[in-house]
Amino acid sequence: MNIASLNLRQAIMYKMQGSDSSAVEETISDAISSGQEKTLPGLGVLFEVLWQNSDTSSRQEIVQTIASHLPEQAEKPI
C-alpha cells in the first residue's frame, strides 16, 4: 500500500461499513476512552457523517452543545 495514496475517509468508511448502531457506539466510546490521538481522525470522519446528515436545527443543537462544554480556559499545548 502506498501511504501517499491512502484516503483516510475512505479507509474509515470501509472499516465501518455495515456497522449497526451498537457497533458505532462502541467504536466511539472506545476511541474516546482510549484517549489516543490516533483515534481523532476516525472520530472526525464519524462527526462528518453526522453533520452531513443533520438538518439545520440538529446542527444548531450540536454546535450549541459543543460550545457550551468547551472550557473557558485550557492549558496551552506543549
18-37 pLDDT, tens digit per residue, is 999 999 999 999 999 999 99
- The predicted pLDDT at position 46 comes to 97
Q: What is the pTM of this model?
A: 0.83
Q: 65 near 54, Cβ under 8 Å?
A: no
pLDDT band at 3 (very low <50, low <70, confident <90, very high): low
User: pLDDT by residue (tens digit) across 61-73?
Assistant: 999 999 999 999 8
- How many other C-beta atoms can be found within 10 angstroms of the C-beta atom of residue 12? 19
Whole-number Å distance between alpha carbons of 60 and 65: 9
Cell of 42: 476516525
What is the share, in percent, of the chain residues with pLDDT greater than 70? 92
Whole-number Å distance between alpha carbons of 15 and 32: 18
